[in-house]
Structure 1
Amino acid sequence: MKTWSRRGQVIFGIVAVVLLTALSLVAVGVVGSVVNPGGAGFLSRTRCVAPSLPGSVVSVSLTNMGGPMMGRPDRMMGGAMPMTADRSTVANGQVSFLVTNAGTISHELVILPLPESQIPGTRPMGGDAKIDESGSLGEASNTCADGAGQGILPGASGWVTVTLPPGRYELVCNLPGHYAAGMYTQLTVN
């Protein structure tokens, strides 16, 4: 019987750990998809088609880096959850937001007025790792539907139409820890 060298044992151990980790991640995704279709497993995706939206349409993409293994929301690093809009300026009046969750966890979009003296991303955080939504003008957090809900599931979209007067607005995801992780952007309405 041949004895394994120390180097061979280390390589075998590394390969075994990598394979077991990969199998575990696949199992978590599959089990999550079966237990809670469309939401719990990072492999699950819910597809939907938005209706024809009125007014100026702003397409917003919400994502997160690292997937569900990135830890608790209150431990995420700034910038780990980018929010991007296809435009930074729109005309005043009716504005529709088509919000697509390109991430692996639920997200939402909340529209807040942004005072002239305020810099985006600097709102104070509460003990619940969320910002104050007082004065919100609208929210897209309903999977495959208009308005408020429980969050837009991974791979899905939500939408909302609001009337915006001229000014500055901050678009945010206000699920716990998401704003602090960089999930905000500015929109100027002329």
Structure 2
Amino acid sequence: MRAGRVLVAVASAAVLTGCVTVNEQAGPGMMHGRGATVVRSTCAPPVDASGSTVVVMLGDGGMMRRMHGGTAMLRAVPATVPAGPVTLLAQNMGRRTHELVVLPLAPGESVGERAVGVDGTVDETGSLGEASAPCAEGAGDGLTPGAVGWVTLDLPAGRYELVCNLPRHYAAGMVDELVVTAR
């Protein structure tokens, strides 16, 4: 478990600084299990010194069971930032394609409570943006395993639900809350 956390921290730091691609063999009990190849992205968003950066880790499968006790994960670090420009850097650490969609939360609403439609997704009406284009900002066809995408938003104080809205991912627990505080 400790080795996995160290690898996650190193990967996140590398992505934020514009790392080079690394293909490595994961040892037993690490990120993707025995002997699996772990791929890291080569791109990073433009850095805005006046804003905040939130790393959003997206994942599924065995790694998530070992690290978080579940089969799907969407985790924002840090979970609280000041109002203003916020870059959400989505990093797909799983085996399936994922995306990141930012939805505002109304007072009294909680994360994970949106109605899931027959297509396995939630209504994106009111979405503030998404990160689903590999090595680019904004919307695309999804982040494949190892890919990174980002979106920069000017967020006022409030609460936001971060979701993966690919079919059945929200219902599987790919949701987290981002709190934006007044400056």
TM-score (norm 1): 0.69
Paired letter, 1:81: A
Shift of 1:119: 1.3
Give distance in 2, aligned partners of 1:169 and 1:159.
Answer: 16
Residue 136 (str. 1) matches residue 130 (str. 2): no
8 Å CA contact retained: 2:132, 2:143 = yes
Shift of 1:79: 4.1
Query: How big is each residue's C-alpha offset from its partner over 1:86-114, in whole Å with a ceiling of 9 and x where there is no partner?
Result: 11111111100111000001100000001
Shift of 1:116: 1.6
In structure 2, which of residues 46, 52, 57 is the aligned counterpart of residue 56 of structure 1? 52
In structure 2, which of residues 87, 91, 94 is the aligned counterpart of residue 100 of structure 1? 91
Residue 87 of structure 1 is matched in structure 2 by 78
Give distance in 1, aligned partners of 2:117 and 2:37.
Answer: 32
Residue 139 of structure 2 is matched in structure 1 by 148
Larger radius of gyration: 1
Q: Secondary structure of the equivalent of 1:63?
A: strand
Q: CA RMSD in A?
A: 1.9
Shift of 1:66: 4.2
Give distance in 2, aligned partners of 1:189 and 1:135.
Answer: 17
Q: Secondary structure of the equivalent of 2:72?
A: coil
User: What percentage of aligned pairs have identical amino acids?
Assistant: 51
Give distance in 2, aligned partners of 1:184 and 1:79.
Answer: 12
Give distance in 2, aligned partners of 1:88 and 1:45.
Answer: 25
Residue 111 of structure 1 is matched in structure 2 by 102
Residue 162 (str. 1) matches residue 153 (str. 2): yes
8 Å CA contact retained: 1:100, 1:158 = yes
Paired letter, 2:124: E
Query: Which is worse superposed, 43-52 or 108-117?
Result: 43-52
Paired letter, 2:112: G
Give distance in 2, aligned partners of 1:90 and 1:44.
Answer: 30
Residue 29 of structure 1 is matched in structure 2 by none
Shift of 1:51: 3.2
Give distance in 1, aligned partners of 2:45 and 2:175.
Answer: 25
Give distance in 2, aligned partners of 1:135 and 1:79.
Answer: 29
Give distance in 2, aligned partners of 1:169 and 1:53.
Answer: 22
Residue 179 of structure 2 is matched in structure 1 by 188
Shift of 1:181: 0.3
Residue 4 of structure 1 is matched in structure 2 by none
Give the ranges of 4+ consecutive aligned residues of structure 1 lying more than 3 Å apart after TM superposition.
42-46
Query: Which is worse superposed, 123-132 or 49-58?
Result: 49-58
Paired letter, 2:93: A
Corresponding pairs, count: 139
Residue 22 of structure 1 is matched in structure 2 by none
